[in-house]
Amino acid sequence: MRPQNLIYTFVSYASHYDTDWGRGTATDGVELTARIAHKYGIPVTWIVNGGSVPVLEERIREWHDRYGDDVILQCPLFIEDTGANKARLKAKLEQDWAVVEKAFPWVTTKVAGRGKIYNETIEVLEELGFQGMWGYCWEQVWWDGITHQGIPWGSWYVDSSRYKAPHPGKGNIVACEWTARDLNLTYHSSNPCIYSTDPNDVLRAGLCDGDNIEYWKNLFHDYLDNTAHNDQVYFLQHQEAHEMEFTDRFSVFPASHVEACEGMLDRFFDYITDYPITLTTLPKAVELYHRTNEVTAPVYMLTRDTQIRPAVNDYTMTLGGVGAGPWPTTLLYYDHECQLAFVEGECTPRMLRSYIGKGEMSDTFDESVPRVFVTRHVRTADTIEVEFEIGHWRPIPFALAYWDDLKDFEVEWCSDGATAKPEPIGGQVAMIRLTLTGEPRVVGLRLRRKEGGAP
């Protein structure tokens, strides 16, 4: 485990609203959120807009100087706010960014945020020199009018002509997720809005409350454990400031929920800051991603069942109930070409998504998986040799997995045209990344016991 590789950012919506569920800027919620985070030295990234900046600028400037707080800009909705007009979207972004720039001259990395994203949104952001877009929701369907199923989780370079797919090279915009999800349970249950780091969602689902955050602790360790084999593990958590107050301006949730979320965040911040993780703001995390990655970085996440189950109530029944497990250990992976899921013990992926040549954004990019035969499997005291055979199959990014007790082994060799990390992931699985060409394929893998490893 390399805890410094976990990049933790805390983001809070602090925009001006004029809606049927609230009007104004949630100053009480902003103050409460800031007090909890700053108590533990956590900088807050505030999502502001032209209406909230004049109300919050003095506070945010002070918090920037004392705690390193930062801002990103709420992006206008392409359809609802601009009538699907790119020129209007661009003008509104330019107008609001000028307000941000004047109030916070130290802001140099331009990041926007909104959950409803379109190709036109990314195109305009690129034209205006933005470097990141917050609001992507892995596996989400329907909730809040957002359907992003098919995208990777975490952070990746967006292709402006395909807002749900990674750029084939080094893109201009880094995708940033709305809030980190419980990867294992979200994948197996298809319920990202229940199994997540969103305070109100897990409170309503009965997974956490103001006195008990064991579920969040388990989820956090799932990410922390994966720093062992990833140079960067992005863990973004978000909470709306307007959901942290119960006032005449905003009463989205009852006062009891505000109090419970305060307790949950306080306990969680106290817990995670006991570990030497990297605490930063979203603009700085976006800068880091641009600086260190020439293409969307491959991400390997060996995920486990977080064990705690949701309640059966109105919220968890909204989309027809939620699967409760138990769920198998699962390796999740993505790069700029594909996304994969391997269930423990299986050599072929349960989920295979290819981003190559895909231009329809209503697609989830899922592909059928070819039949794989293991024609050789020999294990001695010091070596393991495996040979996989795949018949004719259309050209597609692909991978294979070998599961075993591999903590004392390392990958010595795999076939030409295939790659594998030298150290088996979590001491449990070796993954072989390759590309199918349309011709039959034989793929070999050899592992050797490490010097000094127990036989």
**201 found inside a domain:** yes
Q: What is the pLDDT of residues 273-308, one digit of tens each?
A: 999 999 999 999 999 999 999 999 999 999 999 999
Sign of CA dihedral 270, 275, 279, 285: negative
**372 found inside a domain:** yes
Looking at the structure, do residues 157 and 283 belong to the same domain, yes or no?
Answer: yes
Looking at the structure, do residues 247 and 381 belong to the same domain, yes or no?
Answer: no
Looking at the structure, do residues 431 and 290 belong to the same domain, yes or no?
Answer: no
Q: What is the pLDDT of residue 442?
A: 98
**321 found inside a domain:** no
Looking at the structure, do residues 247 and 395 belong to the same domain, yes or no?
Answer: no
pTM for this model (two decimals): 0.97
Looking at the structure, do residues 186 and 37 belong to the same domain, yes or no?
Answer: yes
Looking at the structure, do residues 131 and 269 belong to the same domain, yes or no?
Answer: yes
- Mean pLDDT of the residues in the chain: 97
**358 found inside a domain:** no
Q: What is the pLDDT of residue 405?
A: 97
Q: What is the pLDDT of residues 349-374, one digit of tens each?
A: 999 999 999 999 999 999 999 999 99
Q: What is 165-206 written as a DSSP string? A: EE-SS--S-EEEESS-B-HHHHHHH--TTTSBS-HHHHHHTT
How far apart are alpha carbons 373 and 245 in whole angstroms?
58
Q: What is the CATH number of the domain that holds 408?
A: 2.60.40
Q: What is the pLDDT of residue 452?
A: 78
Q: What is the pLDDT of residues 30-66, one digit of tens each?
A: 999 999 999 999 999 999 999 999 999 999 999 999 9
Q: What is the pLDDT of residue 230?
A: 98
Residues 405-422, mean pLDDT to the nearest whole number: 97
Among 284, 303, 322, where does a domain finish? 303
H/E stretch holding 98 reads helix 86-103
Bridge partners for 338 per DSSP = 354
Q: What is the pLDDT of residue 324?
A: 86
Looking at the structure, do residues 115 and 240 belong to the same domain, yes or no?
Answer: yes
Looking at the structure, do residues 299 and 434 belong to the same domain, yes or no?
Answer: no
Q: What is the CATH number of the domain that holds 38?
A: 3.20.20.510
How far apart are alpha carbons 266 and 352 in whole angstroms?
38
Q: What is the pLDDT of residues 69-94, one digit of tens each?
A: 999 999 999 999 999 999 999 999 99
Terminal C-alpha separation, the chain? 24
Q: Is 271 left (phi over 0), alpha (psi -120 to 50) or beta?
A: alpha
How far apart are alpha carbons 325 and 317 in whole angstroms?
16
Work out the pLDDT band at 262, boundaries 50, 70, 90: very high
Q: What is the pLDDT of residues 131-147, one digit of tens each?
A: 999 999 999 999 999 99
**208 found inside a domain:** yes
Among 248, 269, 303, where does a domain finish? 303
> Quick check: 454 pLDDT over 80?
no
Six token digits for residue 433: 């990344």
Give 277's contacts (C-beta < 8 A, 6+ positions apart).
3, 4, 6, 7, 8, 224, 235
How many domains does one find in the chain?
2
Bridge partners for 10 per DSSP = 44, 237
Q: Give the residue numbers spanning the domain of 392.
A: 367-449
**356 found inside a domain:** no
Looking at the structure, do residues 291 and 415 belong to the same domain, yes or no?
Answer: no
